[in-house]
Amino acid sequence: MRFVTLPLLLSSMMLFSCQQQEAGQAPSTELQAIFPKGQQGPAELFTGTAYNYGLVPNDSVYTTLVGNVYFEPGARSNWHTHPAGQILIITDGVGYHQIEGQPKEIMRKGDVVKCPPNVKHWHGASADTGLQQMYIVPNTEKGIVEWMEPVSDEVYLQD
Rule CB under 5 A: say whether 91 interacts with Mn ion. Answer: no
Q: Fill in the per-residue mask, 93 to 132: x = in contact with Mn ion (CB under 5 A), - = not in contact.
A: ----------------------x-----------------
Tell me the C-alpha distance between 125 and 138, whole Å.
Answer: 23
Q: Is residue 86 a contact residue for Mn ion (CB under 5 A)?
A: yes
Closer CB to Mn ion, residue 80 or residue 92? 80
Q: Which residue is nearest to Mn ion (CB)?
A: 86
Q: Please, what is the minimum distance in Å from the beta carbon of residue 22 to Mn ion? A: 41
Least distance in angstroms from the C-beta of 30 to Mn ion:
25
> 144 near 58, Cβ under 8 Å?
yes
CB of 31 to Mn ion, least distance (A): 20
What does the DSSP 8-state code read for residue 141? Answer: G
Instruction: Tell me how far, at minimum, the Cβ of 153 lies from Mn ion, in Å.
Output: 20
What is the distance between the alpha carbons of residues 63 and 143, in angstroms, rounded to a whole number?
Answer: 10
The CB-side HSE value for 64 (13 A sphere, CA atoms) comes to: 10
Q: What separation in angstroms does the CA of 75 have from each of 19, 96, 130? A: 33, 10, 8
